[in-house]
Chains A and B, each alone.
Chain A
Amino acid sequence: MAEEWKIKLVMIFIVVIFMVPASIQFYSHRHYRIPIVAGPGVSKVTKLSEYSKGLRRTMAETNVFFLEGKEEGGKALIIANTHSNEPSALLTALVFIENAVVDKGTLIIIPCFNNSGSRNTKPGDGYPLYFEIPTEWGRKKFRMGNRNAAPLDQWPDPDVYIHYPDRQLLSYIDVRNTNRTWPGRPNGPLMEKVTYGAMQIMRKEKVDIAFDIHGAETMFPVTNCIVAPEKSMRIATMTSLTVKAKEGFDNHVEPSPSGFRGLSHREIGDYSDTLPFLLEAPIPFLDQPTGPKTEKLLLDGKDPFLLSLSKKKKLFVPYDETGWPMAKRVGQHCSVVLEIMHQYSRKFPERAIRVRNVPRYAEVVKNGVGHYFHNPEKVDKDDIYYN
């Protein structure tokens, strides 16, 4: 064998050694299915493609859970995992799906809104592929996703994303960001079809209020807050004041900018009768100046560099040695969602939405998030849905 081919074969061997295990991990992550136990309140489960046909048989297809009360009332939509690297949203949605019982009105929940994004990862930032939540019956495993949809499902990116219908010029990568593609269209790029599906739910089902649950960096000013457009502002303000007074945590209100297009809290309000609210809880994992992006940092939010920055007053949220554990973030989301529904019901009693059996902030912090998840091996197989 020629000398050059010996060198080439060694090179190919080295590349294969690294490439094959990595490929297996990427493939397993993309195809890992999270079991979701439909709780006592779930009355119907359908697919988002029922409302946006272009999603059928794509990786963007996702489950939509309906929790219908015996008494007619208003309707609320909870959207989680718009950004799949902000997992407190998914966990909050699952707490509702697995536990909530609706007495009046209807609750519609999309736990994995950007399903393609949840099957993507960010190896350049050292993201873990999975994270696990301890429960009383073991550890429940979740995919750790990325902010944007996988390029395997929507490719190529344009040089500049021209928002539909306002034609505002946005970053190229936002074409795969389901918090820039609102209100969407039925024949646009895949992520526009996703947001179009949610818009259709709101229009067809006559949804009164919509929640888009997120997480944001502690160094970003729009964190630990409720983002609301003009028409949702009163309810958001009342909610912020109430949770501060009754439950003792801060959640200020940020106005939705009218000149920045494509965001859920802007477009849902402008293109439907629904009142939108975007909820943000701090997620130290996403801050840039942290230590390694480990599963531990994702779950407990403790980081020495952020602690140092906090002492220099560089963060937008209170931060101490206790970090920002997942239970605190999920608890805040649960309480804020429940309080917004309560405030809406007070204002519009004929369209009230009454939900019980969902824990509030103090309970989630005390018991942990895993306490509210059911063991998929101990329930009827028909009650398990995979996302």
Chain B
Amino acid sequence: MRTWSFWCVGACDGGDAMPIIMILYYVISAYIAALLIWNFIQEKKSVNNMILYLLVLIPLILRLLRIR
């Protein structure tokens, strides 16, 4: 089971170093990422839109995984 500390490595190992606004931005990112994934799944025809959803999703995923 990965702990909160694992996902926050670097920014907030102590759990209290990540300011509330940063946590809110992660929540917003997760919400937008979920919307994009949902739109990608729902898209039936437009290949352009599918590519668009995936490209926009990349930075959000990298941020949520705390890679970039």
Contacts and interface: CB of A to CB of B under 8 A. Distances in A.
A30 interface: yes
B67 A155 contact: no
Interface string B13-42: 110010001100100000000000000100
B22 A155 contact: yes
Contacts of A151: 63
5 contacts: A4-B43, A4-B44, A11-B54, A23-B68, A116-B10
B40 A8 contact: yes
Given A11-B50, A155-B25, A58 B62 contact: no
Contacts of B40: 8
Nearest to A24: B67
Contact of B50 (A7, A58, A59, A152): A7
Interface residues of B, number: 25
B67 to A, nearest CB: 5
A11 B43 CA distance: 13
A156 interface: yes
B58 A19 contact: yes
A56 interface: yes
Contacts of A26: 62, 67-68
A12 B17 contact: no
Contacts of B43: 4
B1 interface: no
B33 to A, nearest CB: 13
Nearest to B66: A152
Contacts of A58: 10-14, 17
- Indicate the size class of the contact surface on chain A: 20 to 34
Interface of A: 4, 7-8, 11-12, 15, 19, 23, 26-27, 30, 54, 56-59, 116, 119, 151-156
Contacts of A11: 50-51, 54
A23 B12 CA distance: 21
Given A23-B62, A57-B17, A153 B67 contact: no
Nearest to B53: A11
Given A23-B67, A154-B22, 10 more contacts: A4-B43, A8-B50, A26-B67, A30-B67, A56-B14, A58-B11, A119-B10, A152-B11, A156-B21, A156-B22
A257 to B, nearest CB: 32
Contact of B65 (A4, A23, A59): A23
A23 to B, nearest CB: 5
Contact of A54 (B17, B25, B67): B17
Contacts of A119: 10
Interface string B41-62: 0011101001100100010011
B55 to A, nearest CB: 8
A15 B54 contact: yes
Contacts of A59: 10-11
A151 B66 CA distance: 10
Contacts of A30: 10, 67
B29 to A, nearest CB: 10
A14 to B, nearest CB: 9
Nearest to B25: A156
Contacts of A54: 17
A354 B16 CA distance: 43
B54 A12 contact: yes
B58 A153 contact: no
A149 to B, nearest CB: 11
A367 to B, nearest CB: 37
B18 to A, nearest CB: 9
Given A23-B67, A26-B68, A153 B25 contact: no
A59 B67 CA distance: 13
B47 to A, nearest CB: 6
A154 B45 CA distance: 40
B11 A153 contact: yes
Nearest to A56: B14
A23 B64 CA distance: 12
Nearest to A19: B58
